[in-house]
Amino acid sequence: MKIQFNMNKSLSLRIAVYVLSFCMLLFLLVLLVFFFFSRKQIEEMTLKNAEIITSKSAMDVERTILPIIRVAQNYKWILENKQQSSAELYEMTRQVVENNPDVIGSAIAFEPNFFEKEGLYFSPYSYRENDSIKSMQLGNASYDYFYMDWYQIPVATGKSGWSEPYHDTGGGNSLMTTYSVPFYKNVNNEKKIAGVITFDLSLNKFTDSVSSLKILETGYATVLSANGTFVTHPKKELIMNQTIFSYASEINNPELREIGRIIQKENSGYVSSTLNGVERMLYFKKLSSSNWSIAVVFPKSEMYLPLHKISIILIVLVCIGLLLLAVIVSKIISRQIIPLRHFAGSAREIAKGNFSNQLPLIKRNDELKDLHNSFEYMQRKLTQYIEDLKQTAIAKEKIESELRIAREIQMGMIPKIFPPFPNLIEIDLYATLHPAKEVGGDLYDFFMLDENHICFAIGDVSGKGVPASLFMAVTRTLLRSVAPDQMTTRGIVNSLNKSLSTNNDSNMFVTFFLGIIELNTGIMTYTNAGHNPPVLIHPNGEVKAFEMTKDIPVGVFETFEYEEKTLRLSDNDKLFLYTDGVTEAENKEEEFYSEKRLITMLSKNYSLTPKDLISVVSGDVALHVNENEQSDDITMLSIVYYGSKR
């Protein structure tokens, strides 16, 4: 909470944090781009390095194998085209070993009884032992070479080739592979297999060379024979004991078995596999001379170790740099915004009303100078504004005072004493008027034309405010003036219309309903000049609105002639008159109170007195509006006719 407080109090600290945040985001973006491209570059370089190491090792092996193959083909030709004695054959094998340093042994193994005087087995064999070359007869009952792979496969297929690696105990006594070449002799003009000439290659030097290959930290190289046998591997127990397929079955890794098939099928390529829970990359290359494959294997994660180390160093250095940058930026900004503190003090003084407070002096022509000029301008304008505001307040107070007086005058023009005719037992009435503003344009009135006739009216002037209130006052005054002379609703309204239409430059008008009730008979005559139809409420609860009129509002056309209608009121019938401010009262959802809701309320409360009925309707309108601002004047008038024999 303390850090948050300081951040809110210090502009320089906030700016420093914003700069630091931007720099941090920029660094993260650069780091991500660097990491992505570096990762890709490292991966490509590592894979290329693996390919180079494997290819170089394969070339080294080929440089050893290919000369042996060429020598083998030369000696095959000699054996097939010349006759040699037993001694010459021994000498030939000695020369092969002596002249080829990579060959540790060579044999010329003949078919059974090919040399009758030598017996069943005849295989002159010369081999290296320490620094000397020794010769021996290879075949015997304990070493029946006729069933050795290096012999029987070339004899059966008629093709030269390298044998699977094996540990020979009869001749070379070491881990070796043998290149076997079948040769033939013409016997009775028929070409027959005579035997196999072999060249033994020790794998010790080869395996040591491959085993010494390293890639990354824990990567290693391995050699697989044509059948997938491990010739070299960091796990010594796998060498010559398992193939890649048997090892895949042992560790239940089908993915490794599929890799073995790919290595046997393809000449070179990259594959990946998960071994011992570690994702590893493998590059292999097949030896064209022997169908053996050399592969380098390394954990994929080790490719990115240098990148991770560099990234950590960069992050540490950048974090230190960002902290130093934040401190430096904060100090610089703090010095730059010292005038702002002075401006803050001046603003507080101005807020207290001291508009002539001295502002700090700014010599630089920059944004602070603009702020200084703006403060000066504000001081001048505030001084002028306060003076204007005082004058406006005085004028407003005067207008409000005049409006209060106008409201009192207007409200004083309409009857407010109830019951208005306490001596009349035939009727009772009640009325209310609530202007939307200080003064309004609604009106109601009632008065006795004579002892047996009561005149009542309700109206709504177009517009609101002072103009409407003046038009209302004129209408009410004219009504009281012409009514005694006309005595009919039609005549009264026609006279009002002619008077109000004359010189009506403001084009104002008033919707108007006028009725006259004959007290001893209950006959009511009425004229409706475009006003909301009143509601007739019978004592049995039946509620019915008057029919809509075709007559237009008063004050529109001077020559218009209004109609008069007659209605007989029964005992205890009740009239309810209202202006559109009732039915068009809006709530916050802009929904009207509506005629339907008004009729419903009147039906529920038909038995109430005029005063109570208007009170209930007013309360329901207020409930509907729900404190929303009143948009129009609200006026209601209710009359109950008790009859002449009450």
pLDDT tens-place string over residues 67-93: 888 888 898 898 888 888 888 889 999
**Residue 325 covered by a domain:** no
Does 436 share its domain with 536? yes
Residues 6+ apart with CB under 8 A from 197: 72, 75, 76, 79, 106, 107, 108, 109, 180, 181, 183
Q: What average pLDDT does this structure show over 537-550?
A: 90
pLDDT of residue 200: 86
Report which residue type is found at 59: M
**Residue 300 covered by a domain:** yes
pLDDT of residue 326: 76
Query: What is the distance between the alpha carbons of residues 258 and 264, in angstroms, rounded to a whole number?
Result: 10
- Phi, psi for 453 (deg, rounded to 5): -130, 130
Q: What average pLDDT does this structure show over 636-641?
A: 96
592-630 residue pLDDT tens: 999 999 999 999 999 999 999 999 999 999 999 988 888
**Residue 266 covered by a domain:** yes
Taking alpha carbons only, the member of 250, 230, 248 closest to residue 240 is 230
Of 134, 163, 195, the one marking the end of a domain is: 195
Higher pLDDT, residue 222 or 535: 535
215-249 residue pLDDT tens: 777 888 888 888 888 888 888 888 888 888 888 88
125-138 residue pLDDT tens: 998 888 889 988 88
Q: Tell me what percent of the residues of the chain surpass a pLDDT of 90.
A: 26
430-440 residue pLDDT tens: 999 988 876 67
| Residue 1 pLDDT > 50 | no
Query: What is the distance between the alpha carbons of residues 439 and 403, in angstroms, rounded to a whole number?
Result: 7
Does 421 share its domain with 457? yes
Average pLDDT taken over every residue of the chain: 83
- 251: DSSP letter: T
Range with top average pLDDT, 2-6, 275-279, 422-426: 422-426
Query: What is the distance between the alpha carbons of residues 233 and 418, in angstroms, rounded to a whole number?
Result: 118
pLDDT of residue 2: 45
Going 58 to 62 to 64 to 69, the CA torsion angle's sign is: positive
pLDDT classification of 7: cutoffs 50, 70, 90 = low
Query: What is the distance between the alpha carbons of residues 133 and 71, in angstroms, rounded to a whole number?
Result: 19
pLDDT classification of 577: cutoffs 50, 70, 90 = very high
pLDDT of residue 287: 81
Q: What average pLDDT does this structure show over 503-517?
A: 90
**Residue 5 covered by a domain:** no
Does 241 share its domain with 182? no
Place of tokens 């306490």: 422
306-347 residue pLDDT tens: 777 777 887 888 888 878 877 787 777 777 777 767 766 777
Strands 543-545 and 510-518: unpaired
- Phi, psi for 429 (deg, rounded to 5): -150, 160
Does 453 share its domain with 580? yes
Of 195, 228, 244, the one marking the end of a domain is: 195
Higher pLDDT, residue 424 or 339: 424
Report which residue type is found at 591: E
pLDDT of residue 619: 93
Q: Nearest 10 degrees: CA dihedral of 485, 489, 495, 500?
A: 130
Report which residue type is found at 604: K
Strands 220-224 and 230-232: antiparallel
| Residue 3 pLDDT > 50 | no
- Distance of alpha carbon 592 from its chain centroid, rounded? 42
Does 267 share its domain with 356? no
C-beta atoms surrounding 112 within 10 Å: 12
Contacts 24+ apart (CB under 8 A), 33-37: 34/314, 35/307, 35/311
- Phi, psi for 99 (deg, rounded to 5): -90, -5
Report whether 272 contacts 280 (CB < 8 A).
yes
- Compute the C-alpha angle 600/603/605, nearest 5°: 110
pLDDT of residue 407: 63
Which CATH number do you get for residue 282?
A: 3.30.450.20
- Compute the C-alpha angle 4/8/12, nearest 5°: 115
C-beta atoms surrounding 622 within 10 Å: 14
pLDDT of residue 215: 79
Query: What is the distance between the alpha carbons of residues 379 and 213, in angstroms, rounded to a whole number?
Result: 85
pLDDT classification of 4: cutoffs 50, 70, 90 = very low
| Residue 150 pLDDT > 70 | yes
pLDDT of residue 68: 85
Taking alpha carbons only, the member of 575, 466, 601 closest to residue 514 is 575
Q: What average pLDDT does this structure show over 414-424?
A: 88
Taking alpha carbons only, the member of 425, 358, 438 closest to residue 396 is 438
| Residue 565 pLDDT > 80 | yes
Which CATH number do you get for residue 595?
A: 3.60.40.10
Report which residue type is found at 457: A
Query: What is the distance between the alpha carbons of residues 149 and 188, in angstroms, rounded to a whole number?
Result: 29
**Residue 36 covered by a domain:** no
Give the count of domains, the chain.
4
* Residue 267 structure tokens: 């000449």
pLDDT of residue 67: 85
Report whether 459 contacts 513 (CB < 8 A).
yes
| Residue 569 pLDDT > 60 | yes
Report whether 172 contacts 75 (CB < 8 A).
no
Report whether 180 contacts 151 (CB < 8 A).
yes
Query: What is the distance between the alpha carbons of residues 43 and 92, in angstroms, rounded to a whole number?
Result: 52
Does 480 share its domain with 570? yes
Report whether 322 contacts 27 (CB < 8 A).
yes
Q: What average pLDDT does this structure show over 516-545?
A: 94
**Residue 248 covered by a domain:** yes
Query: What is the distance between the alpha carbons of residues 440 and 411, in angstroms, rounded to a whole number?
Result: 10
Does 231 share its domain with 283? yes
**Residue 245 covered by a domain:** yes
Cα 418 to Cα 167, 413, 414, 550, distances in angstroms:
133, 15, 12, 33
Q: Tell me what percent of the residues of the chain surpass a pLDDT of 70.
A: 90
Does 572 share its domain with 513? yes
pLDDT of residue 5: 44
Cα 312 to Cα 81, 305, 317, distances in angstroms:
73, 11, 9
| Residue 269 pLDDT > 80 | yes
Query: What is the distance between the alpha carbons of residues 593 and 601, in angstroms, rounded to a whole number?
Result: 11
| Residue 153 pLDDT > 60 | yes
Does 221 share its domain with 190? no
- Compute the C-alpha angle 632/635/639, nearest 5°: 160
Does 188 share its domain with 220? no
* Residue 615 structure tokens: 């009170």
Does 448 share its domain with 534? yes
Q: Is residue 621 classed as helix, strand or coil in its secondary structure?
A: helix
Of 195, 229, 261, the one marking the end of a domain is: 195
pTM of whole model > 0.85?
no
Taking alpha carbons only, the member of 175, 184, 126 closest to residue 154 is 184
10-29 residue pLDDT tens: 666 677 677 778 888 887 88
Residues 6+ apart with CB under 8 A from 102: 64, 67, 68, 201, 202, 205
Q: Is residue 447 classed as helix, strand or coil in its secondary structure?
A: strand
C-beta atoms surrounding 642 within 10 Å: 17
Q: Is 311 exposed, middle or buried (0-12, 13-18, 19+ CB in 10 A)?
A: middle
| Residue 173 pLDDT > 60 | no
Range of the domain at 171: 61-195
Range with top average pLDDT, 267-276, 392-401, 443-452, 501-510: 443-452
What's the maximum distance between 2 C-alpha atoms anywhere in the chain? Answer: 174
Taking alpha carbons only, the member of 299, 254, 290 closest to residue 272 is 299
Does 527 share its domain with 556? yes
Q: Among 267-276, 351-360, 388-397, which is the least confidently predicted range? A: 351-360
**Residue 408 covered by a domain:** no
Query: What is the distance between the alpha carbons of residues 310 and 598, in angstroms, rounded to a whole number?
Result: 83
